[in-house]
Amino acid sequence: MKILRKPSSPDSDNADISREIPWKLLVVDDEPDIRTLTSLNLRGFEFSGRPLQIIEAASAKEAREMLQTHPDIAVALIDVVMETDEAGLTLVAHIRNELRNLMIRLVIRTGQPGLAPERYVIDNFDIDDYKDKTELTVQKLYTTVRSALKSYRDLQTIELNRVGLHRILDITPELYNLHRDKLEEYFQGLLMQIIGVCNLGYSGMISTIDGLVATLEGKEIHVRAGAGDLADDETCAKRRNEIIELCSGAVLSEKFPDQLRQRAIVVPLRVKDELFGFIYLESGGELSEADRELIQIMANQCAAALDNFRMHHSLEESYEQAIDMLAEVAEFKDSATGAHIKRIEEYTRRLSLELGCGAEDAAAYAQASRLHDVGKVGIPDNILRKPGRLTVEEFEVIKRHTRIGDTILRRNPSLALARSVACTHHERWDGNGYPDKLSGTNIPFVSRIVAVVDVFDALVSTRPYKSPWLPEKAIEELQNESGTHFDPAIVTAFLQLYQRGALEDLVACSRGENL
């Protein structure tokens, strides 16, 4: 993996500095001459490759307004005596206690130390330095501001790393839940870690290359994580899209494009010979060899995470394909229940949501429900398709489909939920079901859901051995069986859905066998 960067030149470096985000210094003093002199003495100031922007306030009240307008102020030089004898100290308390701004470095600068003794101020106010105005020569002012900015930068690095690490740790356990938004959150954390550890400033991006990261069925994975003026919002969209296009071309051709900023670097995300995307970073200064090695290591982690994500995504697709295949087998065996399987899936999804399940769980339950009757592939056709009522012996044969389904699905651990449904959806709340006479909450939750929707759909549908029931009669049957055959809470939720008209399309489909 090769880091792409533009060869540096003195002229281009100087041109590039003006585009860097400046450090912001707030000068709070009611004496215009002091503010002017401060600006003159710090003219041309630069720290870590970034210039200084001086913001002036003639009072504590005006300073509060500036802090609202510029929440990213790095350092404030604050006079004590302004509107009142303690206006500056009150401002310090406001910044720390009300704004909860613990990052900004606060330097008290007073011409009347008798009104604000140094020890008293340091002991009672959260400041970072105390200076008598008579002390602040040009050199001392330079040193004070530079030290304060260094402290601010280091605190930023710690905070970026803290937030980035928190994002990574928070998302990592869920990374393989196969959701793109989780993956983006994970990469957002990694990006913040890289920027923080290497003191790169604010701007950066991690992105996949459109069309190059695909899953089994050709579905593309798109990832975007941005920071600073490359964050994921509308105001940055134009520049972000331009950089995506330039960086995509760069990692494919291994040539750094001239249109990117001078100190920018592009790191391909590659596993072996396969390219996934890139990391784009903007640096305020030249990177050390240690920084480059660190970026390389974290880029490798990004690429590996993308590769793992894609493999897990493909496994999920394979699981879905296995479900579809087995459901089709059951449908071919008993064509009368083909559309029934599809309706059961949708009934289960809607009822799960009604019962308070999350969308992810509801989708998993719905998918598992498709295999509730897969065991019928082992039932003889003359019994399965018998147009009349079954004998006791024949019904005992039909009951075997729960055990057969369990046997078919037990070989694959990823089908555990579907296996549970196939085996237990004929258990009864009162313990008189089959095959194991489970009762109450000992019956898996998803199987209790499928039991209700399976019976309802069977009642309102045409079968070789019966005509369809009216929906109202089927609802009455569910109510009669609530607490004996069915979980009462699930019947109640089903009735709520039915009464709201949320099942009308599925009931209508039971007549035409189309969904």
pLDDT digits (tens, 9 = 90+) for 97-137: 999 999 999 999 888 877 778 888 888 899 999 988 887 78
The dihedrals phi and psi of 349, each to the nearest 5 degrees, come to -60, -50
Q: What's residue 17's pLDDT?
A: 34
What residue segments make up the domains of the chain, in order of their start? 22-136, 155-311, 334-512
Q: Max CA-CA distance within the chain? A: 108
- What's the whole-number average pLDDT of the chain? 82
Please state, for a pLDDT cut of 70, what percent of the chain lies above it.
79
Token pair for 48: 């870590």
pLDDT digits (tens, 9 = 90+) for 311-360: 766 666 666 667 776 776 666 665 555 577 889 999 999 999 999 999 98
Please state, for a pLDDT cut of 90, what percent of the chain lies above it.
43
Map residue 2 onto helix, strand or coil. coil
Domain 155-311 matches domain 334-512 at the CATH topology level:
no
Q: What's residue 497's pLDDT?
A: 97
Q: What's residue 217's pLDDT?
A: 46
pLDDT digits (tens, 9 = 90+) for 444-475: 999 999 999 999 998 998 776 678 899 999 99
Query: What is the average per-residue pLDDT within 265-275?
Result: 81
Written out in words, the top-level CATH class of the domain with range 155-311 is: alpha beta
Which residues have a catalytic role annotated?
A: 376
Q: What's residue 8's pLDDT?
A: 54
Q: 350 near 493, Cβ under 8 Å?
A: no
pLDDT digits (tens, 9 = 90+) for 76-103: 999 999 999 999 999 999 999 999 999 9
pLDDT at 490 over 90: yes
Short-list 497, 470, 487, CA closest to 346: 497
Q: What's residue 331's pLDDT?
A: 61
Lowest mean pLDDT among 50-64, 242-256, 356-370: 242-256
Does domain 22-136 fall under CATH 1.10.3720.10? My reply is no
Lowest mean pLDDT among 50-64, 139-153, 185-199, 253-267: 185-199
Query: What is the average per-residue pLDDT within 17-22?
Result: 58
Instruction: Report CA Rg, the chain.
Output: 34
Residue with more model confidence, 137 or 286 = 137
pLDDT at 209 over 90: no
Instruction: Compute CA 434 distance to the chain's CA centroid, rounded to the nearest angstrom.
Output: 43
Residue with more model confidence, 107 or 173 = 107
pLDDT at 215 over 50: no
pLDDT band at 379 (very low <50, low <70, confident <90, very high): confident
Short-list 76, 82, 81, CA closest to 106: 76
Q: What's residue 202's pLDDT?
A: 54
Please give the full DSSP string across 444-499, using - where no structure is assigned: -HHHHHHHHHHHHHHHHS-BTTBPPPPHHHHHHHHHHHBTTTB-HHHHHHHHHHHH
pLDDT digits (tens, 9 = 90+) for 23-60: 999 999 999 999 999 999 999 999 987 899 999 999 99
Q: What's residue 515's pLDDT?
A: 45
Out of 1.10.3210.10, 3.30.590.10, 1.20.1630.10, 1.20.1250.20, which CATH number does the structure's domain 334-512 have? 1.10.3210.10
pLDDT at 11 over 60: no
pLDDT at 18 over 60: no
> Does this model's pTM top 0.85?
no
pLDDT at 219 over 60: no
